[in-house]
Amino acid sequence: MKIAVTDQPLNPWKELANHEALLKDQAGKWGGLATFIGTMRDYNEGETIDALWLEHYPGMTENYLQRLAHTAHQRWEIVDTLILHRVGQIYPADTIVIIGVWSAHRAPAFEACRYLIEELKHRAPFWKQETCSQGCRWVTTNTPPYSAP
């Protein structure tokens, strides 16, 4: 299980491959990897967005993500999880978040992945400030928590 918040650019394909390489002792134990990769759009609410500033609460954010991962492991049969999230200045097409869930079967992999991204967006202490032609504005739209199918 790996959780990290970073101000460095994220390459999702390298991060997923690097993490999977660390799981070599468990090779053959998983039958699938479900991923969610969040990427910055260049528009929001009718405006062109030039950049995004991502702020977090150091310590609390990492603790919260760790707890989400533990809950996912208790709730579904999964082999491992990876959660990486950017902070600082980012630009359109940059990766914001990477979630990977390795599991023996696709159903727990997909569901745990959806749980992690929905709960992260709903409650993990990150805040976005957009830069557009009219200046800077904080994003205020929070999204609902995970709900089981």
Sequence-distant (6+) residues with CB within 8 A of 8 are none
Residues 135, 127, 120, 52: what is their CA dihedral angle, to the nearest 10 degrees?
40
Q: How far is the CB of 75 from another protein (least distance, A)?
A: 19
Q: Establish if 134 lies at the interface with another protein (CB under 8 A).
A: no
Identify which of residues 9 and 145 has a Cβ nearer to another protein in the complex: 145
142 DSSP assignment:
-
Q: Establish if 19 lies at the interface with another protein (CB under 8 A).
A: no
Q: Establish if 129 lies at the interface with another protein (CB under 8 A).
A: yes
Identify which of residues 79 and 100 has a Cβ nearer to another protein in the complex: 100
Q: Which of 9, 31, 59, 145 binds another protein (CB under 8 A)?
A: 59
Distance between CA atoms of residues 125 and 3, nearest Å: 14
Phi, psi of 14 (to 5 degrees): -70, -40
Q: Establish if 142 lies at the interface with another protein (CB under 8 A).
A: yes
Contact pattern for another protein over residues 81 through 120, marking x by CB under 8 A: ----x----------xx-------------------x--x
Terminal C-alpha separation, the chain: 25
Sequence-distant (6+) residues with CB within 8 A of 69 are 1, 3, 81, 83, 116
Q: How far is the CB of 69 from another protein (least distance, A)?
A: 15
Q: Please choose, out of 20-28, 68-76, 101-109, 133-141, the segment that lies near another protein by the rule CB under 8 A.
A: 133-141
